[in-house]
Structure 1
Amino acid sequence: MFIEVKNCNNIDSGGIELTPNQLNIKYATNGTGKSTVAKAISFSIGDRSDGGKRLKDLTPFKGYGASPLEPTVTGTDTFSNLRVFDEGYINDFVFQPTELIKGSFDIFIRGADYEAGMQEIAVLTSETKNLLTSDPEISQLISDLGELLLAFGKQVKSGLHASSNIAKAFKGGNRVSSIPTGLEKYTNLIQCEQNYKWIKWQQEGKDFLDISSDCPYCTHDVADTRELILKVTDVYDAKSVESLNKAIVTFSKLDKYFSDETRKKIAEFITNIDGYSDAEAAYIVEVRRQIEQLAADLGKATNLGFSSLKNVDGIIEEVKKHKIDLSLYVHLNSSSSAEKIDIVNRGVDCLLEKAGKLQGGIAKQKILIEKLVKKNSTGINDFLRNAGYHYSVKIIEIGETYQLRLIHNTVDSEIENVKSHLSYGERNAFSLVLFMYDCLKSGADLVVLDDPISSFDKNKKYAIVDALFRKDNSFKDKTVLLLTHDFEPVVDMMLHHPDRFSKPTVAFLENKGGVLTEVPIARSDIKTFIDIAIDNAQLPIPEINRLVYLRRYYEITSNKRFSFDILSSLFHKRNNPSRIGQNGFIDLTEDEVVEGVTHIQRFIPTFDYAAILALLNDDQQMKALYFASENNYEKLHLYRVLFDDKPSEIESDVIRKFINEAFHIENNYIYQLNPSQFQLVPQYVIDECDVYVDGI
């Protein structure tokens, strides 16, 4: 399929071919528009799905003039689930505070098989759960027990926690139900539902009595009752009264669940005007322990399922333990309690009838989870080991979920704040591999990788390529667009290890004057730079262009035969061939010249030093040759020769550095594309050179 891009940043028109269910590698020099292609595809699909207008962000500057240009992308209609690896993904999804990647449980564990297993177990336990949930009073009982436990506060070695609601409410006695002498006239206010609010209002208003003897509310003189008014705030505290109200309400809710004797004792406790004794506090704490235990037993029974039974060898014995013996709860042994506990125990009995099937389902689910944990953690750890990173990952069970955690190989503990411990390269490598697992789980129908591995060294590059595209649980046979200015992955997959990787579709992208085109790259196009130099030195092209390649051949071989010195002297426009000596350049001897020229003539029989030197010194002929050349690589070398004896015209340090380095040797890769067939020199460099050559 062809994806056409128009009026997006530096791309006026053009596009790329995309082969479904294959890795599509687009190799290009920097400045071609790789990132623009990635964004154009991403924005096009995103705008179609959510109605956005992000594609307009790619409008070129010239598109804002009198004749506005509209960015367009066609050919992406078949894709709906696009995933793009970029800096935004790294920032938003990986290296979370508690796990390496957001949603690691969904990515690595939860799937169709996992959900089917959980559903099978849920069906077996559903009758029990339905019995327990069909009676709303059981849920309310559990809730009320929990509420009362909160009122007790934290456990202490003896007695009640001083800051608990119960201690605050009853330590000084219940003076709401038993109003102290002298305050009887306030009975209706003290015992109303909103009493604590009235007490707070009364406390806040007493300061106004210091201003005058008038009531701050009705202005009647209260000098005779001032002492009585102040007694209210001396006896009552708004927070304590509020705590008392809540405690009494909660105790009242549970009243029917207490045994007769306990109900009587609690009634005495909450109505005692003098506060509680240590013995009474100990009694209440004993009640608390039974409430806590019953609440725990009820909670376990209602949550019977995979999570509570997965680590148990004998399911039948474990399920039996969830039956509740009410006779052990002397404080809660009432007819109402017995009614609810009977429902719980009947639910447990129902589950016991299915214990055999339940045990089989749980065992099957455990095996599946262990398999998924091993499979996914092994895949990531193999990559880390192959790339030389001293880390490993573990998928750790956290309650009913799982999280991916990072471990350093020198310590047996999880790394916290992972992002601050990893280098830039480590973060990118981790992110890229985790991104792959995320894409596989989400079922992405198109994955775009925008120059993700160029910054890594050779070993790490191969480890990443191996992890992403070779294994079964990888991007292998998925529709992936890899945009890169790094040629090594192409060499590894097409030349060195074609047996290990599914055959990718590879093309070279070129942007000339805003027109984006691509040239397919075949395995036969990948050659050593020695082969390229020899082949091009014998092409039917101008002799000076052939000498450019031949000079490169001599530069990279050890057997130079003085030929390199001769060609180097020629390109630097020296009248006589020379070589570097201890004190500068020294002329070659006649024999050395003969030896060097003879070897050159094996490739170019018509080679004549003086004739070529005359051509090089003729700026107009060189200018004509420069503009007649269709190959950017050759034009770059002709530019360098033209300006060898002239002041540097180009002001850009970046372009000047590019020209100087390219003039010598491009040995970043042993294997390369032939520069006579692929425009490996960026067009923006040649455009700059054209300006200065045209001015000669």
Structure 2
Amino acid sequence: MKIEILNCNNIEQGTFEIRENVLNIKYAINGAGKSTLAKAIAFSVMNRLGNKKQLSELTPFKYQGNAERAPQVKGIEGISSIRIFDEDYVNDFVFQPDELLKGSFDIFIRGEDYEKGIQIIDKLVNEIKKLLAEDKDIEGLIRDLTELSNGFGKPTQKGIHGSSPLSKALKGGNKVANIPVGLEDYKDFIQGAENFKWIKWQMDGKAFIDISERCPYCVGDISEKKGRIRRISEEYDAKSVENLNKMVEVFQRLNQYFSESTRKKIDEFVENTSGYTDDQVNFLREVRDQIDRLRGKFSKAQSIGFHSLKDVDKVVEELKSYCIDLGLFNHLQSENTESKAKVVNDSIDRIQEKAGELQGNINKQKILIEKLVKENSTEINGFLRNAGYSYSVDIKPDGNGEYRLKLTHNDIDGEVSNVRTHLSYGERNAFALVLFMYDVLKKNPDLIVLDDPISSFDKNKKYAIVDILFRKGGSLRGKTVLLLTHDFEPVVDMVKHHSDRFEGLSTSFLENTHGSLAEKGIVKADICSFIDISNENIRDAATPLLSKLVYLRRLFEVTNEKVFEVTNEKGLDYHIISNLFHKREKPEIPGENGKREMTQYEINEGNSKIKEKIADFDYAKMLATVKDDAKLIELYEDAENNYEKLHIFRIFCEGKPEPVESDVIRKFINETFHIENDYIYQINPRKYQLVPQYVIDECDRIIASRFR
């Protein structure tokens, strides 16, 4: 697909291509707009899908408020889903408190085969689950049993926790059912449906009764009633009454499930006037125990399935534990309880008839999970081992029917907690990248974007990451991937050295010239050693003579044998060109006691070597050229690539006092001039703009402001 991007950060206009179902590598130097490109595509797709990310966030400062220059991305209308690897992804999805990758169960385990297996097992046990789900009485029973149990508060030897709803409601007796003497006139309010609200209203208004002898609500005379009004807040507490209402309602709803004798004792407990006794608490503790056990039985039956049976050797024996024996629940022996227990027991009896089939399918599902765990963890651990990391991963059950990806270290037993604090920046990125791969393989988006993901790794780790991401069967191979990078090493590995392993690549170089983004394709033949690049450019008739000497000097710097043992310097040919660039009338060469003039023999030997490559080389003529500022400026302006411009600029500056004020620019120029920072393999700087435009802009400014 052909994509056009307009008015996004430092890109005013640009076109590039993304081929579908292949890895698209976009190599660019820093500042070209790689991250802008990634964000522009992502934001544009997200805007269309209703996501909060707005493409307008990328509006260049100079165009803010100008609707006619709003950011646009064209050509991606066919993309309906996108995943992008960036810092946001790492923060939002990776290294979660309870697992390495958010949703690791869905990513690594839950697939089509897994779901089919679960469906077969669920079908065998579906009857009981369906009956329990459809029986609203059982659903309400479980809910009420839970609420009543929670009313006792945290477990305690006393039976009822002091801060529990039950304690707050009845510790001082039920004063709603038993209204204290003297407050009978308030019966309709105290025993009303919203009594706790009325009590709160009374307590809030109490602060106003001392202001006047009149009622703050009806302005009637209350001079003789103030004491009785104050008693309301002394006898009642709104929160306690609210708790009492709730607990009484729960007891009433559960009355039909209690045995007759238990129901009577609970009524006595609820209606007591002076608070509950120790004997009543002990009795209620027994009731609570049976409530919890019965609730557990119903809940267990509701959740019957693979996860509740997978660790059982004999399913038929385990199914017996699902049956409800009401003989063990003397406080809950009633016709209603018996009818609900019968639903469970009858269903379990029918499931037992299919126990053999159920056992077989559970075993199949366990084998599938073991296979998935082994395959996924083995592949990730292989990567970690190959990349030199002392970590490994394991996919473990979490106790809730799912599985979590956990991290372990080779030096300890058990999982690593607080993963973010233990991993270095590089380790976090490596883990995140690999986990991202599994995530997108599961979600299968239309486009996968990797924004400069591997530049921070050393060479061995880079290849290990590239290998697992793009080479193997369970990788991003065959997906539409956009890889943006300023690191040339993976380009060399995938396009040059191992093109047989990474088939179907689409590789190009992005260059940004004053906001105009363009791309040029890179194929295997474009990646050469600098020796080959230099020879090619020297042979090219279109290369200006001075630029040919630039490449030849670099070539000699790389290939010449060192001929001076004492000074350990390079060959005579190299020194001839070096003297020329330093604008020396008489070439010099390092000697044992410092620099000395080259002998005529040495000059002739050096010239002879140069002429083998550049037949029309003439030192005197070229010296006149490099000493002529006007001529150098002309050559600088005519140069078609930034690399040669930079070298001509350096020659131009030779002998001038501090022409470049910026240490940063000066360092860049000097490092580009020497060979030590070049890769063994490169792309040709005559074809690809490898020198940042801002450096050339600074050179332009210096020439224009100081030498015009």
Q: Give the TM-score normalised by the residue count of structure 1.
A: 0.90
Paired residue type of 1:625: L
1:637 counterpart = 2:638: no
Listed one character per residue, the Cα deviations across residues 510-553 of structure 1 (whole Å, up to 9, x for unaligned) are 33455433332221222222332344334434433222112112
1:462 counterpart = 2:463: yes
1:548 counterpart = 2:550: yes
| Structure 1 residues 208 and 393, CA gap change in structure 2 (3 angstroms) | same
1:291 counterpart = 2:291: yes
Corresponding position of 1:490: 491
1:623 counterpart = 2:633: yes
Corresponding position of 1:380: 380
Listed one character per residue, the Cα deviations across residues 116-145 of structure 1 (whole Å, up to 9, x for unaligned) are 222222222221112222321111111111
1:135 counterpart = 2:135: yes
Cα distance in 2 for residues equivalent to 1:260 and 1:63: 82
Cα distance in 2 for residues equivalent to 1:611 and 1:77: 59
Corresponding position of 1:271: 271
Corresponding position of 1:613: 623
563, 581, 585: which one aligns with 1:571: 581
Cα distance in 2 for residues equivalent to 1:373 and 1:271: 58
Corresponding position of 1:145: 145
597, 607, 625: which one aligns with 1:587: 597
- Assess if the C-alpha contact under 8 Å between 1:494 and 1:503 holds in 2: no
RMSD value, Cα? 3.1
Paired residue type of 1:445: D
Corresponding position of 1:24: 24
Corresponding position of 2:248: 248
669, 674, 681: which one aligns with 1:671: 681
- Assess if the C-alpha contact under 8 Å between 2:85 and 2:451 holds in 1: yes
Cα distance in 1 for residues equivalent to 2:78 and 2:236: 74
Give, in angstroms, the shift of residue 372 of structure 1: 2.6
Corresponding position of 1:438: 439
Give, in angstroms, the shift of residue 42 of structure 1: 2.8
- Assess if the C-alpha contact under 8 Å between 1:159 and 1:278 holds in 2: no
Deviates more, 1:45-54 or 1:642-651: 45-54
| Structure 1 residues 44 and 202, CA gap change in structure 2 (3 angstroms) | closer
Give, in angstroms, the shift of residue 320 of structure 1: 1.6
Give, in angstroms, the shift of residue 299 of structure 1: 1.0
Cα distance in 2 for residues equivalent to 1:13 and 1:227: 84
1:115 counterpart = 2:125: no
Q: Which runs of 5+ in 1 are unaligned?
A: none
- Assess if the C-alpha contact under 8 Å between 1:132 and 1:347 holds in 2: no
Give, in angstroms, the shift of residue 607 of structure 1: 3.7
Give, in angstroms, the shift of residue 209 of structure 1: 6.3
Paired residue type of 1:354: K
Identical columns (%): 56
Corresponding position of 2:538: 537
Cα distance in 2 for residues equivalent to 1:513 and 1:210: 81
Deviates more, 1:618-627 or 1:631-640: 618-627
1:450 counterpart = 2:451: yes
Give, in angstroms, the shift of residue 347 of structure 1: 1.7
Deviates more, 1:230-239 or 1:74-83: 230-239
1:576 is paired with a residue whose SS is: coil
| Structure 1 residues 213 and 611, CA gap change in structure 2 (3 angstroms) | closer
| Structure 1 residues 483 and 216, CA gap change in structure 2 (3 angstroms) | closer
| Structure 1 residues 479 and 209, CA gap change in structure 2 (3 angstroms) | closer
- Assess if the C-alpha contact under 8 Å between 1:129 and 1:347 holds in 2: no
| Structure 1 residues 130 and 595, CA gap change in structure 2 (3 angstroms) | same
- Assess if the C-alpha contact under 8 Å between 1:561 and 1:595 holds in 2: no
Paired residue type of 1:379: E
Give, in angstroms, the shift of residue 220 of structure 1: 6.4
1:562 counterpart = 2:572: yes
Corresponding position of 1:339: 339
2:332 is paired with a residue whose SS is: coil
Deviates more, 1:300-309 or 1:432-441: 432-441
1:472 counterpart = 2:473: yes
Listed one character per residue, the Cα deviations across residues 380-415 of structure 1 (whole Å, up to 9, x for unaligned) are 333333333333333332213333333343333444
Paired residue type of 1:244: L
Paired residue type of 2:30: N
Cα distance in 2 for residues equivalent to 1:683 and 1:481: 24
Corresponding position of 1:361: 361
- Assess if the C-alpha contact under 8 Å between 1:406 and 1:415 holds in 2: yes
Listed one character per residue, the Cα deviations across residues 590-619 of structure 1 (whole Å, up to 9, x for unaligned) are 444444344334333444433332332233
1:154 is paired with a residue whose SS is: coil
1:89 counterpart = 2:89: yes
- Assess if the C-alpha contact under 8 Å between 2:671 and 2:677 holds in 1: no
| Structure 1 residues 25 and 200, CA gap change in structure 2 (3 angstroms) | closer
Deviates more, 1:264-273 or 1:479-488: 264-273
Cα distance in 2 for residues equivalent to 1:72 and 1:190: 68
| Structure 1 residues 247 and 606, CA gap change in structure 2 (3 angstroms) | closer
Cα distance in 1 for residues equivalent to 2:504 and 2:215: 94
Cα distance in 1 for residues equivalent to 2:616 and 2:677: 29
2:119 is paired with a residue whose SS is: helix
